Structures are given as C-alpha cells and as structure tokens.
Amino acid sequence: MMGRGDIEGLVQRMQTLRSELPEAEAKDARRGLPQRIHEALSAFGNRRGGGFIVFGLEDVSFRTVGGLDVGQLQHQLTSLVDQRLSYPLRLEFATCEVDDHTVLAVHVPECPPVHKPVYYRNKGLIGGSYLRVGNSNHVLSEAEVRALLRASDRDRSDILPVEEAQMSDLEATHIDAYRATLEARKPTSGLLGLSNDELLRSVQAIVRIGDRDVPTTAGVLFFTSDPTRWLPGAFISVLQFSGTEIAGAAAGSGVYLDNRRLSGPLPIVVEQARLAVLARIRKRALLEGFVRREIPEYPDWAYREAIVNAVAHRDYGITGSHTQLRLFADRLEVQSPGGLFGTVSEQNIESEQSTRNHAVVRLLEDHGLVEQRDIGVNRMVQEMLRAGLRRPLFQDALTSFSVVLENHTMMDDDAYLWLSNFAEYPLKDAQRIALVYGWRTGSLANRDYVRLNSVTSVRATQDLRGLVGLGILQQHGTRGSAFYTLAPLSRRKGGRRARRIWGQEESVLTQVRSRGRITNAEGRDLLGIHDVHEMRRILRRMVKLGLLSQRGTSKQRTYYEVGPNAK
C-alpha cells in the first residue's frame, strides 16, 4: 500500500528535479482524465515493477494545483483499464494533501509476463503497446513487440533444429576438443563414456526428427567451423573508433580505426574477442620495486564476462543481427541481439538469474567460460569498482541488450578537488564515493549507496543519516521513496577551514543573486583577496560545485552567474 510519505517523496523528487521520473508520471487532470492516459497505463504495465501516475501536478513546475474530482477520476480509470486495455491491471489508489492541495496517486502494477505486452485495444497490439523509457512513454515497434512476446515464455531457440545442416557438418575436430576440455575440467563426467552421437544428443547439440538426427542451433554454434553458413548473425564484430561517437565514421573522416569480424566455434570466437579487446585497449605502467607491470584500462574479467554473457544470453531467434564490440576513446560497449530475459531487469541484474539458452550456457560452462551462473555480473561490477572505475551501465532495449564499461574513473581530479571541501569532516571512503556520485548526478538514494559500496541497506541508511547529521546532505521523502541531495552551504557543519570556505562562497552567492553576476575583480574586492589566482580558484571551485556558471570566452570578458545547484 502507498503511504503519505511515498506520495510526498515522489512529488518532492519531481519538483526538485523539475522532471518526471522513470517510475512516475505527473498529470494535471483539473479538466478530467487526460486524453492519452492509456499510454502511461500501458507503459507502466509493461515496465519492470510497474509505476505511478500522480494526478494534481502542474506539467512544468510540478507544483500541486488542486481542483481534482477524485471519485470521477478513479471511476474513469477503472473503466478504461477494464474495457480498453488488453489485460485488466488492478490499480491501487491513494490520496493525500501536499502543499494544501489534494493529489491522487495511482500505482500501476506490472503486467504478468505471460500477458505482456499490455496494449490499448483501440490501437491494437502494434501501435497500442508502450514502454517507459527514461521519463517518457515510447510506442513499441513491431520488432520490440515480437521480442516482448518471445520473452514471455522460455526461449528454446538454441535447441531448435537447423534443418539445412547435416550431421556431417559437425566436425570431429571440434567434438574431440570438447571431449578433451571436459576430461580436463570434469574427469568424472558420465559424458566421457558416450559415443559421439550419444554425447551430442545429451548436450542437446542434435535432435531427432523423424528417422534422422539434425544439428540444433547449439550444435552448429559449438561444433562447426563456420556457424554463419546456417546462422547469418552468429558472429562478433569488433569496431574501434578514435573518438567518442560513431557519427562521422561512415563518412570516412578518419575516426573509424578498425573493423574485424570474428566467426567460428563459439569458444574460439569468445577467446578471439577477448584478445581483440586486450590488443586495442590502453595500458598504464606500474612500477613495483624493479618490476614493471602493465594495467589495462578495463579489468580483464569485466570485459571477458560482458563478451561471454553477450553470446550466452543473446536471442538466437533474431537471425539478422549479430553481437557487436564497440571500442571508443572513453568506453567499451558490448551489444547483443534480444533484450533481457525472464525476470531479469536492469535494476536486479546483479542478483537475479534467468537463463534464455540452457544448452548454450551448459556448453560454455563445460568449456570453462561460465564459472558460476549467479555471480558473473556481480563480479564484473566489483572488478570495475575495485579498479576505481564507474559501475557498468546495463541498457535493455527489448530488441537488444548492452553493457557499457567506461574507462574514466568516478574519482578523477575534479572529484578530488571537490572533495577537498570536506577535508575536515570525519568521513568514510564509502561516504566520499557516495557524495561524488550525488554531486555528479544531482541526487542519491539508499540503493545507489548499496551498489556503489557493496554494503547492506541498513549500513547505507546509517551512513546517509550521518551525512544528513553533518548537514552535507538533505533528505527528501521517507522510507522507500527517500532520496538525498547536497544541502545548501548554510546548513553544513564542519571545521574552521570548511566554515571559512563556505563563508566565502556564501558571500559570493549573495552578491551574484543581488547583482546578477560577478567578475574576478569584483570577487577580490568583496572578499579582500589580492591574488587574482586565489580568487580564480574560488570561482572555479564554485563552478565545479554547480553554484556558479561561467560566462564569456576570454579573461577580459569572463563573468559568473548563479549556477544550477544554487537556484
């Protein structure tokens, strides 16, 4: 059940960010039920975890407006869901007073997977199915609808027969290599005593059709020299760019550095892809005594696991798409056909496990490429964090899934400069990391703290409350909807140096708010500082904090206005 604190938390977040949320949409509704409300109902019904529609909020500032006919809205919504949606979502309603006005919050539950996508009957399955993407509703394409329909049940595409292939296409060389690997890794396996045909049947590499054996998708992937003869998308492309964007590569502007196509038995392709990445990423030298050690810009386990997961969990029913590795100056992207499967979502991918291709995963496991099915992603995250890098980004687009590894650290020089403002505080390293995350993103929640530092939710709550107690963070909302933002300077408590720094910043902000702008010279006069470089450091620090915004293109014309975090 939704409580008052949950509703207030959603409203406060939208008002603070001046934006709708991935899990919440705002509606005015003073003139009745909005005309396109079916889009939000379908989008949240197809979203992992569902979502909320909050009626009684103005569209731009998200201030409460009042004037709602709550009873009529509930009746109209219930009727629309029952009569116009493909599945009768059971809505949950709650009202409360926020800023002296009544708001109506509606929880839209996630539709059961077997009934997805839930769609608006008037427009039909194609054209009437929506999904929440960021803070907006996206109409699903025909391909996305098909992908969602496939994901609603167990995908068996890896054990479907490839009827054009013959048993003779399964080469003894690859079968013998599998036996050798199996004997080395699992010497007591009962598979070792089977004939080749019995072995292939046991691992679902072949299936009986009528009076003959036929290779399956898994069989073609592991035991033929060129799976693309039958499965055109069964290869990995390695693309390297000199910059940070794809744009311009096709035009021959020089940013497109390399294009390599890797095909063959799946275990060989995975190793080739790993070596291709290793050969192309930068390394930095570290001297340990008299020994020079090279450290790659991405942890080996992280990109290896991303590659293995891409081939293990891709949708082999999508025959026209292939797995891609894209190397940019600032990141590595691994994209595979097909979205996340079963109960796995972007939010729970570190803890939830749902296997699309059981035969493929089993064979990868026998080859030593899948160690433990339930720890790979979690370890990928930990390896990135241990290397001082940002957490991997997981992006589910229904028809594809991407893992993005960024090579720039969250704790860069700018972050350490900003953290110097808290030098006199008794902070833990985990709290410093969380503060930098909040500084970069604008807000911080308990779940962010848990993921950033691999601690329990209870520990995260204690540490965040400690930051609130110091006046560094301020809390918005309660319980599950609580989030935190950096507190205004005047609320922060600290040592003498911290108070002096913030006192200077408060003085500068007061003048900027009064006059609209400030220059370096005006700042020196205000603070009684004679050194132009010292004043520049203060102004630049305030820009980093988002307290000021720099304007002008030269020293003579540079001035500063109020920044986004000081408004």
Q: Looking at residue 479, what is its pLDDT?
A: 67
Separation CA 354–CA 39 (nearest Å): 29
Q: 85 near 42, Cβ under 8 Å?
A: yes
Mean pLDDT of the chain: 84
Quick one: average pLDDT of 504-524? 85
Q: 381 near 272, Cβ under 8 Å?
A: no
Quick one: average pLDDT of 109-120? 88
β-pairing verdict for 24-27 and 51-55:
parallel
**106 three-state secondary structure:** strand
Q: Which alpha helices (DSSP H) does 289-375 contain, by range?
A: 300-313, 358-366
User: pLDDT class for 549, splitting at 50, 70, 90?
Assistant: confident
User: pLDDT class for 288, splitting at 50, 70, 90?
Assistant: very low
Q: Which residues sit opposite 562 in a β-bridge? A: 548
User: pLDDT class for 234, splitting at 50, 70, 90?
Assistant: very high
User: pLDDT class for 443, splitting at 50, 70, 90?
Assistant: confident
Whose tokens are 């046991």? That residue is 202
Numbers of helices and strands, H then E, in the chain? 18, 20
Of 467, 448, 354, residue with least CA distance to 401: 354
b/e burial code for range 518-545 (CB count within 10 A of at least 16 → b) = bbbebbbeebeeeeeeebeebbebbebb
Q: Which residues sit opposite 560 in a β-bridge? A: 518, 550
Of 77, 76, 73, residue with least CA distance to 90: 77
Q: Looking at residue 564, what is its pLDDT?
A: 74
Read off the pTM. Answer: 0.61
The helix (H) or strand (E) run that includes residue 224 is none
Q: Looking at residue 391, what is its pLDDT?
A: 84
Tokens standing for residue 225: 């020299």
With a cut of 90, say whether residue 1 has pLDDT above it.
no
* % of the chain exceeding 90 in pLDDT: 39
User: pLDDT class for 383, splitting at 50, 70, 90?
Assistant: confident
**54 three-state secondary structure:** strand
Q: Looking at residue 85, what is its pLDDT?
A: 93
Count Cα atoms within 13 angstroms, Cβ side, for 530: 0
Q: Looking at residue 286, what is its pLDDT?
A: 47
Separation CA 111–CA 119 (nearest Å): 10
Q: Looking at residue 295, what is its pLDDT?
A: 65
| Cβ neighbours of residue 554 closer than 8 Å, sequence gap 6 or more | none
* Among 80-89, 264-273, 353-362, 531-540, the least confident range: 531-540
User: pLDDT class for 449, splitting at 50, 70, 90?
Assistant: confident
Q: Looking at residue 251, what is its pLDDT?
A: 47
Q: Looking at residue 151, what is its pLDDT?
A: 65
With a cut of 50, say whether residue 287 has pLDDT above it.
no
